[in-house]
Amino acid sequence: MAAETTPGRPETVREDPSQEVPEPASIPGRERVRRDAAARDLAVEIFARKPADSLAEAAAVLGIRPADIVKSLVVKRPDDTFLFALIPGDRQISWPKLRAVLGVNRLSMPSAQVARQATGYERGTITPLGSTTAWPVFADSAMLGQRVAMGAGEHGFSLFVQADDLITALDATVLDISDPA
């Protein structure tokens, strides 16, 4: 796209057929997260961090409690579609609760390869923000009122966001879908 500016007039944007628009998956994950957050008018802070081999180690690196890290879990439904379940780090997904909410008797966690195909992100970096497909989001009620950290689309980066703002921006369904770990 090319922009034209005339003094005293708003900028106009024209399609430039010689410019190829990149596919969402070809844009780096962190940039997809930034763009999606901006489009939703969601304030996020993305920070580089040292690699971590566990959630507890990631919390220590970030100087926060494990409960303040939200895991973005990709869940496969019986009809082969997906959803995101946002679960605080000190809790685990409650399969019976989530199945009851969805009215299904079977849910599963896809393989890392299938999760990447469904979201465009590798495990450990997954977030609903910038996902290549906008799957429905279910957020655990335990994250309400918190400032949380979560994957930022690339290894070595985390994002911080107000959970309530994230939930609103994603139009997430808030329910009790977890149990203590």
Residue 131 confidence (pLDDT): 96
Residue 61 near residue 49 (C-beta atoms within 8 A): yes
* Residue closest to 150 by CA, chosen among 35, 47, 40, 70: 70
Question: How far is 137 from 154, CA to CA, in rounded Å?
Answer: 20
Task: With respect to residue 91, please indicate whether it lies within any of the assigned structural domains.
Answer: yes
Residue 6 confidence (pLDDT): 34
Task: With respect to residue 13, please indicate whether it lies within any of the assigned structural domains.
Answer: no
For residue range 10-55, what is the model confidence (pLDDT) as tens digits? 333 333 333 343 455 578 999 999 999 999 999 999 999 998 889 9
Residue 128 confidence (pLDDT): 98
Residue 21 confidence (pLDDT): 38
Contacts of 20 (CB under 8 A, 6+ apart): none
In the predicted model, residues of the chain with pLDDT beneath 50 are 1-22
In order, the DSSP letters of 131-152 are -SS---EEEEGGGTT-EEEEE-
Task: With respect to residue 90, please indicate whether it lies within any of the assigned structural domains.
Answer: yes
Instruction: Supply the CATH number for residue 129's domain.
Output: 3.90.960.10
Task: State which residues form the domain around 115.
Answer: 45-180
Residue 13 confidence (pLDDT): 30
The number of folded domains in the chain is: 1
Amino acid (one-letter) located at 168: T
Task: With respect to residue 165, please indicate whether it lies within any of the assigned structural domains.
Answer: yes
Task: With respect to residue 15, please indicate whether it lies within any of the assigned structural domains.
Answer: no
Task: With respect to residue 100, please indicate whether it lies within any of the assigned structural domains.
Answer: yes
Burial label, 40 (beta-carbon count in 10 A; 0-12, 13-18, 19+): middle
Residue 26 confidence (pLDDT): 77
Residue 63 Rama label (left phi>0; alpha psi -120 to 50; beta): left
Task: With respect to residue 116, please indicate whether it lies within any of the assigned structural domains.
Answer: yes
Contacts of 75 (CB under 8 A, 6+ apart): 82, 83, 84, 85, 93, 98, 107, 108, 109
Task: With respect to residue 6, please indicate whether it lies within any of the assigned structural domains.
Answer: no
Residue 49 near residue 156 (C-beta atoms within 8 A): yes
